[in-house]
């Protein structure tokens, strides 16, 4: 693989972009960014190409062309994060209705990861992780059940009965604060199941579910408006940083 192609693929990797975004200016000279690029190279490329990345790392850090490429990649990642954050803010500002949508999306993402893990027969040898993934499948399905429109649930007899059973026997899940703690628990399980940077999807979904749980807890205590204001302040700072980062 050509050296330029190695650079391009690494610069597009979400984990590398996140590391460069965190490092800020002159990211390629940051040891953490260099280590992340080397780790991702080992996961993405052949041994020879990964070794080439390690050998060329210092040269790339001193090359103005590569530095500019890294700067653009970091700015692109920041812009994408900003757009995602903007959409997230729009949903949160809708209050309980918007947060239900976000929780429903989190449940769908969680159930997808659980199914992907469970259908791989090789994972059955890791008995503890396999069992926990089974639990996560049930938890995610329950999340979707409680966040889906009630008129839809009522039309599906067995699911409606399952929901009624949960409300009767697990009353905490019918409360905003209780569901928040339930979602935080789900997120923490995904973080515990994460094995290395190659499973960054578990990190993303885990942190997302913890965040959604936190919003539910804040809503339970009537502090959602305060959280929204703090998030807006953070978004404004991120926008200012993006403007500085994209300046020539």
Q: Is the pTM of this model over 0.75?
A: no
- 118 within domain boundaries: yes
Host domain of residue 54: 3-63
User: Higher-confidence residue: 127 or 124?
Assistant: 127
Amino acid 127: pLDDT: 87
Residues of the chain with pLDDT > 90, as a percent, come to: 17
21 and 74 Cβ atoms separated by less than 8 Å: yes
- The larger pLDDT score, comparing residue 180 to residue 225, is at 180
Residue 149: inside a domain: yes
Query: What percent of the chain clears pLDDT 70, i.e. is strictly above it?
Result: 77
Whether residue 77 lies inside any domain: the answer is: no
Q: What is the pLDDT of residue 75?
A: 59
Give the confidence band of 238 by pLDDT, cuts at 50, 70, 90: low
Place of tokens 């002159």: 26
pLDDT of residue 33 exceeding 70: yes
pLDDT of residue 200: 86
192-211: pLDDT as tens digits: 988 877 788 899 999 999 99
Is the same domain home to 167 and 44? no
Whether residue 48 lies inside any domain: the answer is yes
- Cα–Cα separations (whole angstroms), residue 42 to 7, 31, 39, 196: 14, 17, 5, 12
Mean pLDDT of 165-176: 83
Mean pLDDT score, 104-119: 92
Quick one: 32 and 128 in the same domain? no
Question: Of 236 and 143, which is predicted with more confidence?
Answer: 143
- pLDDT tier for residue 115 given thresholds of 50, 70 and 90: very high
Structure tokens at 142: 């329950």
Residues 6+ apart with CB under 8 A from 54: 38, 41
Q: Are residues 57 and 131 in the same domain?
A: no
Q: Which residues of 182-209 are buried (b: 16+ CB within 10 A; e: fewer)?
A: bbbebbebbeebbeebeeeebeebbebb
Q: Are residues 163 and 40 in the same domain?
A: no
Q: What is the pLDDT of residue 207?
A: 93
Helix (H) or strand (E) holding 200: helix 200-220
Q: Looking at the domain assignment, is residue 79 inside a domain?
A: no
- Helix/strand/coil (H/E/C) assignment for every residue in 78-104: HHHHHHHHHHHHHHHHCCHHHHHHHHH
The answer for residues whose C-beta is within 8 angstroms of residue 102's C-beta and 6 or more apart is 88, 91, 92, 212, 215
> What is residue 206's predicted lDDT score, i.e. its pLDDT?
94
Report the first-to-last Cα separation within the chain, whole angstroms. 31
Is residue 161 pLDDT above 60, yes or no? yes
Residue 84 within a domain: no
The pLDDT of residue 220 is 86
What local confidence, expressed as pLDDT, does residue 82 receive?
A: 53
Count: domains in the chain:
2
The chain-wide mean pLDDT, for the chain, equals: 79
> In whole angstroms, what separates CA 45 from the centre of its chain?
24
């Amino acid at each position: 693989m050509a050296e330029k192609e190695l650079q391009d693929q690494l610069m597009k990797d979400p984990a590398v972009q996140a590391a460069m975004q965190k490092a800020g200016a002159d990211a390629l000279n940051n040891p953490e960014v260099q280590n992340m690029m080397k780790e991702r190279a080992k996961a993405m490329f052949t041994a020879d190409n990964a070794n080439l990345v390690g050998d060329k790392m210092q040269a790339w850090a001193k090359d103005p062309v590569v530095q500019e490429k890294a700067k653009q990649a970091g700015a692109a990642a920041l812009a994408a994060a900003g757009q995602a954050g903007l959409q997230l803010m729009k949903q949160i500002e809708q209050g309980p209705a918007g947060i239900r949508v976000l929780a429903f999306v989190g449940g769908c993402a969680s159930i997808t990861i659980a199914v992907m893990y469970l259908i791989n027969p090789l994972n059955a040898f890791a008995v503890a992780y396999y069992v926990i993934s089974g639990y996560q499948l049930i938890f995610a399905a329950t999340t979707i059940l409680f966040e889906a429109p009630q008129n839809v649930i009522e039309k599906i007899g067995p699911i409606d009965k399952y929901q009624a059973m949960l409300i009767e026997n697990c009353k905490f899940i019918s409360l905003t604060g209780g569901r928040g703690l339930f979602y935080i628990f789900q997120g923490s399980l995904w973080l515990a199941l994460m094995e290395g940077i190659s499973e960054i999807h578990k990190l993303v979904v885990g942190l997302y579910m913890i965040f959604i749980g936190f919003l539910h807890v804040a809503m339970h205590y009537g502090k959602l408006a305060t959280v929204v204001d703090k998030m807006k302040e953070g978004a404004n700072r991120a926008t200012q940083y993006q403007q500085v980062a994209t300046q020539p």
